[in-house]
Amino acid sequence: MSDPLRLGIAGLGTVGIGVVKIVQRHADLLALRCGRPVEITAVSARSRGRNRGADISGYAWEDDPVALARRDDVDLVVELMGGEDGPALAVTRAAIAEGKDVVTANKAMLAIHGHALATEAEAASVALRFEAAVAGGIPVIKALTEGMVGNRITRVMGVMNGTCNYILTRMEDAGLPYDTVFEEAAQLGYLEADPNLDVGGIDAAHKLTLLASIAFGTRPVFSAIDLEGIQRISVEDIRHAADLGLRIKLLGVARMTGRGLEQSMSPCLVPADSPLGQLKGGTNMVVIEGDSVGQIVLRGPGAGEGPTASAVMADVADLARGLRIPPFGQPAATLVEVTAARATAAKPFYMRMTLVDRPGALARVAAALGDAGISIDRMRQHGHEGTDVPVIIVTHKTTRDAIDHATGLFSTTGVVVGEPVAMAIEAI
């Protein structure tokens, strides 16, 4: 059997310890499947004395992760610290400079620095792998770079943040308002240290950036995504959607058009009986459409110790076997600059607004929609107390630009209170 593949793990949080446990528990199985032993020789983290639920006493310790990357007894660096720059970026670049392969779960770092790091890795003839950076245990990157290599990808879409899906599912099932469920999620430890990474859609948008780059051969540019979080979704929106046979999801959608790459991460309504509509709790789902295979649906746990560590080990195993492909599925030099495009495909929209209770208010709103070129499919005025009236409108097919134009006109009507909520109804 070949010499062992020696790992240095930078970061011993939830995922790092998950990797340690897999290597310790499945040493014999890994050796059989990889054709060589896989061993951990050194680790690095912020706190040495912390009880992590796994025995790391047999591994060399480095306080500085860069020093770990430079050790002679480390062949492959596993970066699991997180953060778009700082120590994570430093250890990744140090490993590449030392001629060592890197496996990372760091979506933020790759969404911001991915093209530069891929260029550096290819110049150094080393691998940079990141299956665990997108959708936890779902092998979506492998599906794009290997299983669907014979397809021209036409669309990538999905639910890529389990916390947001948990919040929306919990609001629906329990009839609880957003703020209550947000606090519940915080108490359960589901939210990032900066909750806006989750509920603001940033975490999911990092993932969509990477998938779009692989799917369409573009340089990853996080800033090119149209981004909106779930903070303004009310339990009333969820109830109204259910009445329409729909469910609300934080949905990422990317497609290449003649005008450029459309990328959005925003709340959308999907058919309740569709695969995405039936997705519950913290589960993730990615839908990929190719010109040869049609549509495939990948579903599984999007986070957690075991699922994410499993994805890390899939990359480690590929490198142990000698399987090496460019980080984004094709040479970094061939990835094209992103030309960002706003979605122009017409689709129905759901709109919720509050109107002043006065004669002619609905007529003014309808006139503003007409001036924006939008026709109304359905309109509902709900019971109310006081001077404000909640109104739900479902439009015929229109564009996001037209919706934005209409909401701008609403401010001139004198009858719309606050900012309306508008969500696309996405065909699946």
Q: Can you give the chain as a three-state secondary structure string?
A: CCCCEEEEEECCCHHHHHHHHHHHHCHHHHHHHHCCCEEEEEEECCCCCCCCCCCCCCCEECCCHHHHHCCCCCCEEEECCCCCCHHHHHHHHHHHHCCCEEEECCHHHHHHHHHHHHHHHHHCCCCEECHHHCCCCCCHHHHHHHHCCCCCEEEEEEECCHHHHHHHHHHHHHCCCHHHHHHHHHHCCCCCCCCHHHHCCHHHHHHHHHHHHHHHCECCCHHHCEECCCCCCCHHHHHHHHHCCEEEEEEEEEEEECCEEEEEEEEEEEECCCCCCCCCCCEEEEEEEECCCEEEEEEEECCCHHHHHHHHHHHHHHHHHCCCCCCCCCCHHHCECCCECCCCCCECEEEEEEEECCCCHHHHHHHHHHHCCCCEEEEEECCCCCCEEEEEEEECCECHHHHHHHHHHHCCCCCEEEEEEEEEECCC
Total domains, the chain: 3
- Is the same domain home to 153 and 241? yes
Verify that 188 and 76 share a domain, yes or no: no
Assigned domain for 372 exists: yes
Q: How many CB atoms lie within 10 A of CB 266?
A: 24
Residue 9 contacts residue 80 (beta carbons within 8 Å): yes
Q: Would you say 23 and 39 are in contact if contact means Cβ atoms under 8 Å apart? A: yes
91 and 79 Cβ atoms separated by less than 8 Å:
yes
Residue 324 included in any domain: no
Question: Token pair of 56, please?
Answer: 């790391």
- How confident is residue 266, by pLDDT bands cut at 50, 70 and 90? very high
The predicted pLDDT at position 339 comes to 87
Q: What is the pLDDT of residue 33?
A: 96
Q: Is the pLDDT of residue 53 over 60?
A: yes
More confident residue, 48 or 317: 317
CATH code for the domain in which residue 266 is found: 3.30.360.10
Domain end residue (candidates: 268, 301, 334): 301
Q: Is the domain of 36 the same as that of 164?
A: no
Is residue 385's pLDDT more than 70? no
358 vs 94: which has the higher pLDDT: 94
Q: Is the pLDDT of residue 276 over 90?
A: yes
Closest CA to 105 of 68, 71, 77: 77
| Residues 9, 91 contacting (CB under 8 angstroms) | no
Residue 1 has pLDDT above 60, yes or no: no
> Which CATH number characterizes residue 416's domain?
3.30.70.260
Identify whether 328 is part of a domain.
no
Q: Residue 35: what residue type?
A: G
Burial of 244 (0-12, 13-18, 19+ CB in 10 A): middle
Res. 421 pLDDT band, cuts 50 70 90: very high
The answer to whether position 369 is within a domain reads yes
pLDDT of residue 384: 64
**pTM for this one?**
0.93
Instruction: Determine the average pLDDT of the residues in 379-395.
Output: 82
- Residue 393 backbone phi and psi in degrees, to 5: -125, 135
At 328, the pLDDT band (50, 70, 90 cuts) reads very high
Are 213 and 97 in a shared domain? no
For the annotated catalytic residues, the residue numbers are 207
Last residue of some domain: 60, 87, 104?
104
Tell whether 199 and 286 lie within a shared domain: yes
155 belongs to a structural domain: yes
Closest to 78 (Cα-Cα) out of 147, 20, 146, 124: 20
**Percent of the chain scoring above 90 in pLDDT:** 87
Residue 383 has pLDDT above 80, yes or no: no
**pLDDT score at 158:** 96
Residues 274 and 159 in one domain: yes
Let me know: does 306 contact 15? Beta carbons within 8 Å: no
Domain assignment present for residue 258? The answer is: yes
Give the number of other CB atoms < 10 A from CB of residue 322: 10
| Domain encompassing residue 223 | 140-301
Query: Rounded mean pLDDT of 246-268?
Result: 95
In which region does residue 9 sit, left (phi positive, over 0), alpha (psi from -120 to 50) or beta (all else)?
beta
Task: Read off the pLDDT of each residue in 118-139 and give the average, rounded to a whole number.
Answer: 96
Task: Based on the fold, state whether residues 188 and 287 are members of the same structural domain.
Answer: yes
Q: Based on the fold, state whether residues 264 and 152 are members of the same structural domain.
A: yes
Mean per-residue pLDDT of the chain:
94
In terms of domains, do 182 and 282 share one? yes
Encoded tokens for 205: 């948008």
Do 156 and 250 have their domain in common? yes
**Phi and psi (nearest 5°) for 29?**
-65, -40
pLDDT of residue 226: 93
Confidence of residue 7 (pLDDT cuts 50, 70, 90): very high
Give domain status of residue 126, yes or no: no
Mean pLDDT for 344-349 is 90
Domain assignment present for 400: yes
pLDDT for the residue 308: 94
Average pLDDT over residues 315-334: 97
Same domain, 294 and 369: no
Other Cβ atoms within 10 Å of 388 Cβ, number: 13
Residue 386 pLDDT exceeds 70: no
Least Cα distance to 106 among 134, 126, 74 occurs for 134
The string of pLDDT tens digits covering residues 176-222 is: 999 999 999 999 888 888 999 999 999 999 999 999 999 999 999 99
Is the same domain home to 354 and 294?
no
Nearest to 164 by CA among 283, 21, 81: 283
